Amino acid sequence: MPTHDLLITNAALLANPVDGRVQEAAYLAVLDGAIAGIGAMADLPGETRADRVIDAAGNLLMPGLINCHCHGAMTLFRGLADDLPLMTWLTEHIFPSEARLVDAEMVYWCSKLAAAEMILAGTTTVADAYFHEDAAARAFCEAGMRAVAAQGIIDFPAPGVPDPKKNIEQAAGFLSAWQGKNSLLTPALFCHSPYTCSADTLQRAKALAREAGSFFFIHLAETRGEVAQIREQHGCTPAGLLHTLGLLDEQTICVHSVWLEKADIELLRESGAKVVTCPESNMKLGSGIAPLAALLAAGVPVGLGTDGCASNNDLDLFQEMASCARLHKVAAHEPTRMPAAGVLGMATEGGAGVLGLGRQTGRLALGLRADCLILDRKQPHLTPFHNPETLVYAGRGSDVATVLIDGKVVMQDRRLLSFDLEETLDKVRRLAARVRARG
């Protein structure tokens, strides 16, 4: 038996949140970034050796969480201008700040802050989407996070893409630069929305994604206003437009998808397209409530995302899970909707499936990559701990003590190990002072 790189002992193992089963007194062994052993302490072979041992001391060991939609760099705009009408917020605050401040350096540092925030809250994989995504991809790689990084495409001058005519060309450059470069990073494309990208842009972007075997993300049917606009311009729903343009397939990930009609859900199901729901962002912006029960009943794969910090305003998937579980109950006046175990599954195995990473992450099993967290369940707000549903309704990101990504300990006892957090905080605070100095 080889010497393992790392051995976690005495854990309460929640190997797959979907089944909710907790095995007390378990171990997990890591070799070359993969799970090389997992099971009951009683079955741990006596000759097992490891370079490093972490005693979980009865705490919960579970898969890392998967954030299926984020604009990491927007940490800079966290709480910049809350509680305003949507268009005032966008046109008077977010867009001007983006135009003035978003460059590669900003995206790098602010994505690094996002990575720190997510790792500290137990998120091990993120699907990010922004401009200057090359800088974001560098930040996530240096943070040691697993990431699907999607370069933004929009038909307006955008940060790093002053000439929108070149948006597809630049996105192609991003894909080729990152394909096969880092095993933790999957490059992808992100068309902002059907109301900010022309049919031609959408089709060219999807053709490029198909050619590269990449995911195509798009904000879809986020607001009633968007649906009205698309109906006026194209005579169909946003999902109907994507269908007509031939953009829906298993590599298309529709974010938000709040205002879907029955026929839209059927189009998504037939095509194999996937959905990411961002309940806290949809709540805060007053956008609406996605038809999750209907999507899940139809068998559409659904992942959970935080969206960016300008509209959430944090990247804590524990709180996102709670909001998701609670929101759909109150919307339906039905306490059995979106049970906590299902939501926990959506934030782990479900999210991995949506991002095409189901054979790497999302649960803890032999041969998968070691993306996991150790959570301190001995705290007052988690006591008693009758079952894992408690994580959804009472857990917070700050309960996570230790995080492994791809077998590497990136956070231990709440200390970030993969990069210099203070340097990043300092850089972002300097940028934030420039945000406030506007006008």
Type of residue found at 399: D
Type of residue found at 71: H
Q: Which of 393, 413, 420, 438 binds a second copy (CB under 8 A)?
A: 393
Contact map string, positions 144 to 183, toward a second copy, x by CB under 8 A: ----------------------------------------
Region binding a second copy by CB under 8 A among candidate stretches 4-12, 212-220, 265-273, 324-332? 324-332
What distance in Å separates the CA atoms of residue 72 and residue 141, rounded to the nearest whole number? 13
Beta-bridged to residue 126, according to DSSP, are: 67, 147
Least separation in angstroms between CB 351 and a second copy:
20
What distance in Å separates the CA atoms of residue 365 and residue 63, rounded to the nearest whole number? 10
Region binding a second copy by CB under 8 A among candidate stretches 4-12, 26-34, 52-60, 389-397? 389-397
Q: Which of 76, 218, 242, 410 binds a second copy (CB under 8 A)?
A: 76
395-414 positions binding a second copy, by CB under 8 A: 396-399
* Nearest in space to 144 (alpha carbons), one of 416, 351, 375: 416
Q: Does 384 bind a second copy (CB under 8 A)?
A: yes
- Measured CA to CA in angstroms, residue 35 lies from 12, 273, 389, 419 at distances of 16, 30, 25, 24
What distance in Å separates the CA atoms of residue 355 and residue 339, rounded to the nearest whole number? 22
* Nearest in space to 252 (alpha carbons), one of 174, 189, 299: 189
What distance in Å separates the CA atoms of residue 174 and residue 177, rounded to the nearest whole number? 5
Least separation in angstroms between CB 399 and a second copy:
8
Q: Which of 121, 189, 268, 364 binds a second copy (CB under 8 A)?
A: 121
- Measured CA to CA in angstroms, residue 45 lies from 2, 34, 38, 219, 246 at distances of 12, 18, 11, 49, 54
Least separation in angstroms between CB 387 and a second copy:
6
Q: Does 86 bind a second copy (CB under 8 A)?
A: yes
Cis (ω within 30 of 0) for the bond into 167? no
Planar angle of CA 232, 216, 264, nearest 5 degrees: 45
Least separation in angstroms between CB 359 and a second copy:
30
* 215: three-class secondary structure by DSSP: coil
- Measured CA to CA in angstroms, residue 229 lies from 196, 206, 224, 418 at distances of 11, 22, 9, 45
The token pair that represents 153 in the structure block: 């495409």
Q: Does 91 bind a second copy (CB under 8 A)?
A: no
Count of residues in contact with a second copy, rule CB under 8 A: 73
Q: Does 90 bind a second copy (CB under 8 A)?
A: no
Q: Which of 19, 51, 55, 82 binds a second copy (CB under 8 A)?
A: 82
What distance in Å separates the CA atoms of residue 152 and residue 308, rounded to the nearest whole number? 14
Region binding a second copy by CB under 8 A among candidate stretches 149-157, 180-188, 200-208, 305-313? 305-313
Region binding a second copy by CB under 8 A among candidate stretches 8-16, 60-68, 240-248, 380-388? 380-388
* 374: three-class secondary structure by DSSP: strand
Q: Does 140 bind a second copy (CB under 8 A)?
A: no
Q: Does 367 bind a second copy (CB under 8 A)?
A: no
222-261 positions binding a second copy, by CB under 8 A: 224
Q: Does 84 bind a second copy (CB under 8 A)?
A: yes
Least separation in angstroms between CB 219 and a second copy:
17
Q: Which of 135, 139, 340, 401 binds a second copy (CB under 8 A)?
A: 340
Q: Does 386 bind a second copy (CB under 8 A)?
A: yes
- Please identify, using beta-carbon distances, which residue of 35 and 113 lies nearer to a second copy: 113
* 337: three-class secondary structure by DSSP: coil
260-289 positions binding a second copy, by CB under 8 A: 280, 282-289
- Please identify, using beta-carbon distances, which residue of 33 and 64 lies nearer to a second copy: 64
Q: Write the CB contacts of 48 (distance below 8 Å, at least 6 apart in sequence).
A: 1, 4, 7, 29, 37
Least separation in angstroms between CB 32 and a second copy:
30
Q: Write the CB contacts of 436 (distance below 8 Å, at least 6 apart in sequence).
A: none
